[in-house]
């Protein structure tokens, strides 16, 4: 019951623009963070449908004392998810007693609604593992703030067949070169296939994968591939990072083809040696900058939030970027004039990771983005990042 109550409060806050689902679910006072986050995400994804469902079933006409927010959360599990197994509350009893009518209403309204697809990038649970286990190391080993949809988070909802995004993972060349890791992954998969012919339980086999044709050192796996427990991810050799998240560092350091117009097009572009990452946590793009620019690059990684700055520092060390990255718990606008003058390039990515942006319920709630944003990031969003002097 506590999970539903917490989820109802979080949903109300998200829709009021008071924060993202993940940030609100990671607060210290929250219990059973993973389960709460799962209910929040699925309820937000189906929010308009659930409102229509309750209205069609005339639910509040029969149960006027039922909590609206709590009813929405429980209606999802009752009709689309795995069912509601509690009656320890007036609203819970109302929902449980109305399942038949709610399902009938669902059959009527489901075709009227487009559900935001759940991609393989939309459920990041590594931060919740860290929060519940009390270990920042767990989070870093599992791939930081990027993402993969885990079975524990799936509530048996409507399949999102309309959008199947690949699963991306970046080879961390600070620890291993891409060719070596690719060969090891393919050899291990081939060995397990052989074992499968003679042994009943040969373990999970890594599916076939390709290399991205544009982004260097980026591997492309089939949608839904779960890599969180893979030894290469836990060892920091493979970083779970979406393709869109990989592009800004590549553009800044000329690691992908970029067409430049105007006077800057004719100017020679020397490799950058001093870069500022203005919104660095949790550090996937920061460590990618280090990998692309090593051994000469030096990066000032800035993070305004103290807790996230700590996670950033830990992640930088775990991924082997400590020699190239200097983490600062600091507002971007407070850096000294000396550092400003020395800066040759700036990575400005105020929205943090783009992983799963097509399906993140935090980004699109009822067709509108949350209206509030921390002041520093709001200001950064109006600026432009890139190189100095072309």
User: Residue 137 — pLDDT band, cuts 50, 70, 90?
Assistant: very low
Please compute the mean of the pLDDT values over residues 132-152 and round it to a whole number.
37
Nearest one of 280, 293, 303, 294 to 349, comparing CA atoms: 280
pLDDT at 250 over 90: yes
To the nearest whole percent, how much of the chain has pLDDT over 90? Answer: 45
pLDDT of amino acid 262: 74
pLDDT digits (tens, 9 = 90+) for 259-275: 877 776 666 778 999 99
280 is in an annotated binding site: yes
pLDDT of amino acid 390: 43
* Structural contact between residues 19 and 365, judged by C-beta atoms closer than 8 angstroms: no
CATH 3.40.50 in the chain is located at: 140-149+158-381
Residue with tokens 């779970």: 240
Nearest one of 290, 291, 74 to 301, comparing CA atoms: 290
Nearest one of 133, 129, 324, 309 to 233, comparing CA atoms: 129
- Rounded Cα distance between 14 and 43, Å, is 12
User: For the ranges 8-17, 67-76, 350-359, which has the lowest average pLDDT?
Assistant: 350-359
279 is in an annotated binding site: yes
Please compute the mean of the pLDDT values over residues 81-98 and round it to a whole number.
84
Between the alpha carbon of residue 227 and those of residues 72, 169, 206, 287, the distances in Å are 32, 9, 9, 19
pLDDT at 13 over 70: yes
Q: How does DSSP assign 138-162, residue by residue?
A: HHHHTTTT-----GGG--S----TT
pLDDT of amino acid 251: 93
User: For the ranges 64-68, 119-123, 170-174, which has the lowest average pLDDT?
Assistant: 119-123
pLDDT at 66 over 80: yes
Peptide bond into 282 cis (omega under 30): yes
| DSSP type of residue 254 | T
* Structural contact between residues 59 and 98, judged by C-beta atoms closer than 8 angstroms: yes
pLDDT at 136 over 50: no
- Of 193 and 250, the structure prediction assigns the larger pLDDT to 250
Please compute the mean of the pLDDT values over residues 124-134 and round it to a whole number.
48
Nearest one of 245, 199, 200 to 218, comparing CA atoms: 245
283 is in an annotated binding site: yes
pLDDT of amino acid 362: 56
pLDDT digits (tens, 9 = 90+) for 286-298: 999 999 999 999 9
Tell me phi and psi for residue 329, to 5 degrees.
-80, 90
Between the alpha carbon of residue 65 and those of residues 47, 60, 83, 221, the distances in Å are 20, 8, 22, 49
- Of 348 and 165, the structure prediction assigns the larger pLDDT to 348
pLDDT of amino acid 260: 75
Between the alpha carbon of residue 388 and those of residues 154, 275, 341, the distances in Å are 46, 10, 10
Residue with tokens 């109550």: 5
DSSP E strands in the chain: the ranges are 167-171, 210-211, 218-221, 238-239, 274-277, 298-303, 325-329, 345-347
Q: Which CATH architecture has domain 140-149+158-381?
A: 3-Layer(aba) Sandwich (3.40)
pLDDT at 256 over 80: yes
* Sequence-distant (≥ 6) Cβ neighbours of residue 212 within 8 angstroms: 168, 218, 219, 220, 243
pLDDT of amino acid 116: 65
142 is in an annotated binding site: no
* Structural contact between residues 172 and 349, judged by C-beta atoms closer than 8 angstroms: no
pLDDT at 87 over 60: yes
- Which token pair is 219? 């591997």
262 is in an annotated binding site: no
282 is in an annotated binding site: yes
175 is in an annotated binding site: no
303 is in an annotated binding site: yes
């Amino acid at each position: 019951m506590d999970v539903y109550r917490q989820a109802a409060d979080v949903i109300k806050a998200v829709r009021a623009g008071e924060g993202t689902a993940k940030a609100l679910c990671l607060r210290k006072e929250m219990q059973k963070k993973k389960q709460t986050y799962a209910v929040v995400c699925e309820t937000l994804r189906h929010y308009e449908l659930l409102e229509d469902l309750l209205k069609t079933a005339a639910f509040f006409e029969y149960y006027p004392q039922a909590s609206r927010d709590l009813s929405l959360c429980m209606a999802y599990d009752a009709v689309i998810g795995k069912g509601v197994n509690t009656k320890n509350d007036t609203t819970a009893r109302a929902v449980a007693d109305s399942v038949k009518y709610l399902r009938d209403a669902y059959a009527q309204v489901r075709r009227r609604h487009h559900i935001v697809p759940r991609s393989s990038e939309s459920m990041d649970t590594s931060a919740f593992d860290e929060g519940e286990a009390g270990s920042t190391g767990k989070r870093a080993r599992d791939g930081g703030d990027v993402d993969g949809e885990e079975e524990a988070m799936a509530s048996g909802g409507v399949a999102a067949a309309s959008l199947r995004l690949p699963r991306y993972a970046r080879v961390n060349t600070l620890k291993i070169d891409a060719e070596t890791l690719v060969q090891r992954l393919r050899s291990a998969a081939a060995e397990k296939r052989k074992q499968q012919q003679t042994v009943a339980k040969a373990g999970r086999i890594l599916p076939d994968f390709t290399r991205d044709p544009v982004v260097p050192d980026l591997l492309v796996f089939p949608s839904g591939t779960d890599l969180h427990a893979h030894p290469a991810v836990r060892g920091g050799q493979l970083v779970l990072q979406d393709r869109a998240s990989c592009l800004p560092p590549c553009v800044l350091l000329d690691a992908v083809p970029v067409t430049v117009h105007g006077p800057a097009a004719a100017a020679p572009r020397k490799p950058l040696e001093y870069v500022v990452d203005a919104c660095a946590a949790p550090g996937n793009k920061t460590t990618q900058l280090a990998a692309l620019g090593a051994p000469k690059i030096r990066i000032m990684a800035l993070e305004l939030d103290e807790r996230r700055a700590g996670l950033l520092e830990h992640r930088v060390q775990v991924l082997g970027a400590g020699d190239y990255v200097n983490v600062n718990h600091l507002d971007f606008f407070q850096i000294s004039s000396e550092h400003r003058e020395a800066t040759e390039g700036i990575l400005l990515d105020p929205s943090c990771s783009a992983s799963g942006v097509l399906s993140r319920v935090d980004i699109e709630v009822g067709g509108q983005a949350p209206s509030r944003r921390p002041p520093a990031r709001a200001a950064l969003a109006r600026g432009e990042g890139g190189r100095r002097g072309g």
